[in-house]
Structures are given as structure tokens and as C-alpha cells.
């Protein structure tokens, strides 16, 4: 393999692993997982949980595939919108995808024993998990993950230095109320 091909492959691998880490750190840890945790606390999801657990495996598979396809269509639509130059609308579509994807992950996790009874789905899941394992075992992944961890710690240090224990939202709200009382005097 010549030097240009090696550089192209390494660059492609780097982009793939960086995309995986961005998805894992930003989309999953910041948006999807907290949303799934919040959904699990809602009373309606307790009823849905019982309903899905009583549902026939074929119907569970159908519902899962439909919701999964909606998630993927929103992702493709988001990408096409960004590529066409409408970045704001693409980002908005992607943000709409996050709750649908979170629900899809929630449903998959809940009904995994039923879904894994379909051999073709189990095979696809096993292949996907082995790819994930290969990525996570690579030096490139570990190095990038370490860099993300260091960056996150630096951001936390800066956040605590300027905001203290308060969240960013609380700090902005406090500043807003201060400015509001300064400019808007009661009559």
C-alpha cells in the first residue's frame, strides 16, 4: 500500500472513530440517555412497558421496525438538509430525531428478549456489537476518548470557576433576573 492510500485509510478511520465518539458522548450521553431515564419515570411509560411486554413478538418487531425506520429517515433527511446548505433546519430535524431514537432504544432494551427470537435480527445485532467492540478496542478510539475526557474535565474546571456549583441554566436565569430588575422598574 502506498503512502497516499495509507493516509486516506487512516483519515477515514479517524473520521469514523471520531464520529462514533461524538455520537456516544454528545448525542447518547447528553441527549438520548437522559431522555430515556426521564421517560422511564413517567407513569404512561409504565403502562406502555406492560403493554409491550404482553405484545406478541411479531407485533413488537413490526412496531420496532416502523419506529426505527422513522428514526433513520429523519437522520437521512437531516443530512440531506445540511448538505443542501440549510444547516439550521438540518440540525432542527436531527434534534427531532433524538426523542424518536431514544424511544427506539427504550423499546429495544425493553423488548430485547422478544426481538432476539428472530434469528436474522439477532445475527445483525451480534455483528453490530462485534464492530462496536472492534472500534472500542482500537488505540485510535482509546486515544480520542482520552482526549475527550481531558477536554471535558477542562470544561468542568472552567464551569466551576465561573459558575460555581450552579448549572449554566441557573447562572443565566440569575443574570437575566438581575438585568430585568435593573432595566424594568416597577411603576
Q: Cα–Cα distances in Å, from 154 out to 19, 21, 96, 149? A: 21, 18, 30, 9
- For 59-100, write each residue's pLDDT tens digit: 999 999 999 999 989 989 998 998 999 989 998 998 888 888
CA nearest to 155, candidates 17, 18, 26, 28: 26
Cα–Cα distance between 60 and 52 in angstroms, integer?
7
> For the residues 47-65, what does the mean pLDDT come to?
91
Q: Cα–Cα distances in Å, from 17 out to 38, 82, 135? A: 29, 21, 7
> For the residues 31-40, what does the mean pLDDT come to?
72
Question: Does residue 105 carry a pLDDT above 90?
Answer: no
How much is the pLDDT for 29? 65
Sign of CA dihedral 116, 119, 124, 126: positive
Question: Does residue 137 carry a pLDDT above 80?
Answer: yes
> For all residues of the chain together, what is the average pLDDT?
80
Cα–Cα distance between 45 and 118 in angstroms, integer?
25
- For 166-185, write each residue's pLDDT tens digit: 666 676 777 777 777 777 66
User: By the 8 A CB rule, do 98 and 35 touch?
Assistant: yes
Give percent of the chain above pLDDT 70.
80
Q: Which residue has the higher pLDDT, 173 or 143?
A: 143
What phi-psi label fits residue 87: left (phi over 0), alpha (psi between -120 and 50 degrees) or beta? alpha
Q: Which residue has the higher pLDDT, 5 or 126?
A: 126
Q: Which residue has the higher pLDDT, 178 or 123?
A: 123
How much is the pLDDT for 95? 83
Amino acid at each position: 500500500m502506498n503512502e497516499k492510500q495509507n493516509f486516506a485509510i487512516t483519515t477515514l478511520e479517524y473520521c469514523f472513530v471520531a464520529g462514533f465518539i461524538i455520537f456516544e458522548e454528545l448525542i447518547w450521553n447528553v441527549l438520548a440517555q437522559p431522555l430515556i431515564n426521564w421517560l422511564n419515570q413517567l407513569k404512561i411509560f409504565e403502562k406502555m412497558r406492560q403493554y409491550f411486554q404482553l405484545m406478541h413478538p411479531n407485533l413488537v418487531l413490526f412496531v420496532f421496525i416502523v419506529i426505527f425506520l422513522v428514526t433513520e429517515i429523519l437522520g437521512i433527511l437531516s443530512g440531506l438538509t445540511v448538505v443542501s446548505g440549510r444547516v439550521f433546519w438540518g440540525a432542527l430535524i436531527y434534534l427531532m430525531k433524538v426523542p424518536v431514537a431514544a424511544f427506539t432504544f427504550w423499546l429495544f432494551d425493553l423488548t430485547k428478549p422478544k426481538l432476539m427470537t428472530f434469528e436474522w435480527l439477532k445475527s445483525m445485532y451480534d455483528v453490530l456489537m462485534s464492530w462496536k467492540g472492534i472500534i472500542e478496542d482500537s488505540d485510535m478510539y482509546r486515544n480520542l476518548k482520552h482526549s475527550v475526557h481531558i477536554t471535558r474535565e477542562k470544561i468542568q474546571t472552567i464551569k466551576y470557576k465561573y459558575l460555581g456549583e450552579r448549572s449554566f441554566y441557573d447562572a443565566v436565569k440569575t443574570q437575566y433576573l438581575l438585568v430585568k430588575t435593573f432595566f424594568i422598574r416597577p411603576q
